[in-house]
Amino acid sequence: MENTDTFFSRNKAYIFTLLGLTIAGIIMGGFMMIFDWMYLLKFIIAMLTGGGVDGVVTPAATHHQAMVDTAFGPGYDTIAPEIIRASNERQHFIWWVFVAEIAIFCFMYVKYGRKSAVVTNPDDQVQVFSKFHRGVIWLNVTIIIVLIISGFNITWAMRSGGGDIPFFLRGLHEVTGLVWFPFWFLLTVIAFKDAKLLSSNSVLKKIILPGKYKPMKRIIYIVFVLMGAGLLTSGFIIWFLHPDAFTHGEFIQLKRLLLYIHFASSVLIMFFLMDFVYSVLISVKGNLKGLITGKFPREHLAQLAPDILEDIEGSKNKNKGK
């Protein structure tokens, strides 16, 4: 009998994700972006080694160049043109990325349909999510929806134009981003299911969501944590360093770099979150109701999420033993 439990079969989700991101990165970085990558590397090294955030990696050779650096920031042609180009192009092309992803989900839905459990005793319910869990999850859902809508207003600023509504949405994006930080952190904590592999603390198990991660769900969790941190950090610094009557040439280069980090983080986190929404809520019947009430039929869990049922019942048995 052929052994199907191989290294590749266990880790193919990680391998394909890493391969896909690498190919996308090579195409974007090598053929579709106009960054001065050597300057960018020197700039990052200078910041990490205490060289400041002004972006001056080579002292100005002339008084005129020093004046230009002070007014517009050094190395304008290294980052700013790419941001302008990306800002213009993404208004035309970025939505095709999400159209393609939705088309893939539609194909998968038609081909595989929805998973559903055979429930003969719907009254036998198991509490999976506490009120605290549901509060954190749904507050994150609400905040992320607001951030997406208000963020698209910024992305398509040339199309939405000016006026009170775009102005309000831009301000809403900034305020909502600040509000999101504690709820992003809470979700990061309660969704850290791998922590149960490191400790069997009973308090920890009550805080963290039940069950174990499959590879793709673990990838989505890691992306949520890393890209969420990238969005919040870059967004806060950009907001905090908002210019006044001066041009702030001493840190404009840092803002340009952070702006691009903000762009990239938003695209990646949305791509993987759409995958999560499809795989959890659309492809599996009954999960949405469970997220609202916090309870699932025992047969539903036994058939579609046995790891969650095993985790919950294991904790109950340990408590009874005490």
What range defines the domain where residue 244 resides? 13-321
Domain count across the chain: 1
- Is 20 part of any domain? yes
CA distance 11 to 14: 5
pLDDT score of 137? 94
- Is 248 part of any domain? yes
pLDDT score of 19? 94
pLDDT score of 318? 63
Span 117-144, pLDDT tens digits: 999 999 999 999 999 999 999 999 999 9
- Three-class secondary structure assignment of the chain: CCCCCCHHHHHHHHHHHHHHHHHHHHHHHHHHCCCCHHHHHHHHHHHHCCCCCCCCCCCCCCHHHHHHHHHHCCCHHHHHHHHHHHHHHHHHHHHHHHHHHHHHHHHHHHHHCCECCCCCCCCCEEECCCHHHHHHHHHHHHHHHHHHHHHHHHHCHHHHCCCHHHHHHHHHHHHHHHHHHHHHHHHHHHCCCCHHHHCCCHHHHHHCCCCCCCHHHHHHHHHHHHHHHHHHHHHHHHHHCCCCCCCCCCCHHHHHHHHHHHHHHHHHHHHHHHHHHHHHHHCECCHHHHHHHCEEEHHHHHHHCHHHHHHHHHHHHHHHHC
- Is 5 part of any domain? no
- Is 156 part of any domain? yes
- Is 174 part of any domain? yes
pLDDT score of 1? 45
Of 140, 167, 139, nearest to 153 by C-alpha is: 167
Span 195-233, pLDDT tens digits: 877 777 777 778 999 999 999 999 999 999 999 999 999
- Is 6 part of any domain? no
CA distance 93 to 142: 26
CA distance 130 to 291: 10
- Is 47 part of any domain? yes
- Is 129 part of any domain? yes
pLDDT score of 316? 67
The ranges of the chain with pLDDT < 50 are: 1
pLDDT score of 245? 52
What CATH number did the domain enclosing 79 receive?
1.20.950.20
